[in-house]
A and B are shown apart, each in its own frame.
Chain A
Amino acid sequence: AQSVTQLGSHVSVSEGALVLLRCNYSSSVPPYLFWYVQYPNQGLQLLLKYTTGATLVKGINGFEAEFKKSETSFHLTKPSAHMSDAAEYFCAVSSGGGGADGLTFGKGTHLIIQP
């Protein structure tokens, strides 16, 4: 069985500061990993994904994440926070096989940007 843990249900950073959202996973097979962002009353938008190859992946809006197998982590970072980054962020894992299965999501991290 797979699981995802997102440490910190709420993270608050100042505008212009580093954003770090933590995600740890467990999977019995090599995982595919995803970060999604959800704005209020909207659906989920894909930020980035890791499937195979380079462990540092870059996504939209200046976000990136690094897959660390030894730490079973896939933390999301952004060098400089912007007010428009305020949203709910979800980490998700798929068991591979082309991702042809339901994703397992973490409970989400609400990112707050202080002016």
Chain B
Amino acid sequence: NAGVMQNPRHLVRRRGQEARLRCSPMKGHSHVYWYRQLPEEGLKFMVYLQKENIIDESGMPKERFSAEFPKEGPSILRIQQVVRGDSAAYFCASSPSGGIKTQYFGPGTRLLVL
């Protein structure tokens, strides 16, 4: 059973460009979570999605950041007009819909903004 998949693993963007990060949850999982990890920091929750619905986006910056989890295909975290402060590792986790929703993490996308 494949784990959570994220791509790209590394992404370099110049200031002002757009970054698109993709996450495919584990098979059978319908819940997706995005986290950001800054250097020397723990992970900070950004957004929680189910298929076609944003459940909790309390950790998302109000501007430039958006997330979606369409009926078909991976979840996308989109950062518009990136700035240097967006440089971080972005992790996706998925959990099943029933029972205890233990979150399983992907390998992350490391975004570098030049």
Contacts and interface: CB of A to CB of B under 8 A. Distances in A.
Interface residues of A, number: 25
A49 B95 CA distance: 14
B105 A99 contact: no
Given A43-B107, A44-B91, A108 B42 contact: yes
Contact of A43 (B4, B40, B41, B100): B4
A103 B99 contact: no
Contacts of A4: 42
B69 interface: no
B114 to A, nearest CB: 20
B43 A90 contact: yes
B42 A105 contact: yes
- Chain B contact patch, size range: 20 to 34
B42 A46 contact: no
A104 to B, nearest CB: 7
Interface string B16-45: 000000000000000101010000111111
Contact of A46 (B48, B58, B104): B104
A42 B107 contact: yes
Interface string A78-101: 000000000000101000001111
Contacts of B103: 46, 99, 103
14 contacts: A4-B42, A43-B105, A43-B106, A49-B102, A90-B42, A98-B100, A98-B101, A99-B100, A99-B103, A101-B48, A102-B35, A102-B59, A105-B35, A105-B43
Interface of A: 4, 32, 34, 36, 41-46, 49, 51, 90, 92, 98-108
